[in-house]
Amino acid sequence: MKTILTVDDSPSIRQMLAYVLSSNGYKVIEAEDGEQGLEMAKATQADLVLTDQNMPKMDGIALIKALRALPNYKKTPIMMLTTESSQALKQQGRDAGATGWMVKPFDPEKLLEMLKRAFAQTTA
Amino acid sequence: MSTGGNGSGNGSSNGNGPSYASLLALHDLTARLSSQVDSARREIGETRQILKDAIDRLMPAFTATRSHDSPERAINPSRREAFSALQFQDISDQLLAHAQARLAMLQQEVDLLMNALQPANHSADMVAKLTALVEQANDNLADLDLSHLKPVGKAHLGTGDAELF
């Protein structure tokens, strides 16, 4: 069973993600900001990280940079799931090492499809 | 109470600065503005709390029916739509938080003006003091426009784009 770390300061978004992902056979661990996400990623090896951008303490792009600095997260897919859709910010995410970008509100089926593609890209 | 050096307190001006009466009227205006902005901030805060409470009550009932869905197609079409709609609480909350931050900044500027206009703070160099305050307020408001860019571009209930890099 693949483990997905979701990082979002909105409890309702975390609940929705947990529902969608666990209903589809993923194990879900949750963090409510970038700092907590980083600690959880160090404690448990996630197979994929799904993170929001605007969060207290540490934002999504800072989290991606911190994760990419860890040897065991160099190739792990990291997806942004955010209300932000500006090209400039997407480019920052890409430069930081994001694997993909999804704009909220997310469609559950589209999200699952994207995760499958991200996993396939990693193993290819 | 002396104002602009006239010291009369009768509303007249010595010709070099604002009269006591006009400063008092401005002070009352800024006090009313501050009160209105404060009320708007509180009302936005209450709206955010109401939205949050509604979602907090709705989500457990919504996700509790997980076992009724088939594992092969966990999200039925009506639930997909509901998922998208429910996420607008999160999006609305971000917009409301930005509006609150803007109002907080506005209130800070209005309160600075209000304090400067308080009769106890009137002085001979009121015009210079007020000019400096207005300049500072204009700078702060310009910074506010730069630092509080609207974070949410969604104007409809459609779902967002997705791309792999």
Average pLDDT over residues B128-137: 86
Average the pLDDT over A76-96 and give the result: 92
Interchain CB contact of A101 with B (< 8 Å): yes
Average pLDDT of chain A to the nearest whole number: 92
* β-pairing verdict for A27-31 and A78-82: unpaired
Q: Any idea what DSSP says for residue A24?
A: T
Lowest mean pLDDT among A2-6, A8-12, B67-71, B98-102: B67-71
- CATH code of the domain in which A19 resides: 3.40.50.2300
Q: Whole-number mean pLDDT of chain B?
A: 77
> Which residues of chain B does A19 touch, with a Cβ-Cβ cutoff of 8 Å?
62-63, 66
Q: Is the model's pLDDT at A62 over the cut of 80?
A: yes
- Among A6, A9, A10, A68, most B C-beta atoms within 10 A, so best to mutate, is A10
pLDDT at A117: 93
Task: Verify whether the Cβ–Cβ distance A105 to B89 is below 8 Å.
Answer: no
Which residue from A minimizes the CA distance to B73? A24
User: pLDDT > 90: what percent of chain B?
Assistant: 17
Assess A95–B contact: CB distance below 8 Å, yes or no: no
Put simply, the chain A residues between 48 and 67 with a CB less than 8 A from any chain B CB are: 54
User: CA torsion B58→B62→B64→B69, rounded to 10°?
Assistant: 180
Residues A48, A79 contacting (CB under 8 angstroms)? yes
Highest-pLDDT range among B8-12, B74-78, B81-85, B138-142: B138-142
**pLDDT at residue B14 in the model:** 53
Instruction: Report the sign of the C-alpha dihedral through residues B98, A58, A68, A78, in that order.
Output: negative
Average the pLDDT over B115-142 and give the result.
84
Q: Which phi and psi angles does B94 have, rounded to 5°?
A: -65, -40
**Beta partners for residue B37, in sequence order:** none
3-state DSSP helix/strand/coil % of chain B, to nearest 5: 70, 5, 25
pLDDT digits (tens, 9 = 90+) for B54-79: 888 887 777 776 545 555 455 677 77
A30-53 pLDDT tens trace: 999 999 999 999 999 999 999 999
What pLDDT score does A104 carry? 87
Task: Count how many domains chain A has.
Answer: 1
Q: Specify the pLDDT at position A75.
A: 93
Report ipTM for this prediction: 0.78
The string over A103-119, giving b where at least 16 C-beta atoms fall within 10 Å of a residue's C-beta and e elsewhere, is bbbbbbbebbebbeebe
SS3 content of chain A, % helix, strand, coil (to 5): 50, 20, 35
Torsion, Cα of A16, A10, A74, A26 (10° steps): -20
B116 has pLDDT over 90: no
Nearest to A46 by CA among A37, A55, A54: A37
Cβ of A111 under 8 Å from any chain B Cβ? yes
Collapse the DSSP code of A55 into the 3-class scheme (helix H, G, I; strand E, B; otherwise coil) and give the result: coil
Is residue A121 within 8 angstroms of chain B, CB to CB?
A: yes
Range of the structural domain that residue A21 is part of: 3-123
Give the torsion through C-alpha atoms of B88, B64, B47, A36, to 10 deg.
Answer: -80
- Indicate which of A6, A13, A16, A111 best probes the interface with B, i.e. most B CBs within 10 Å of its own CB: A16
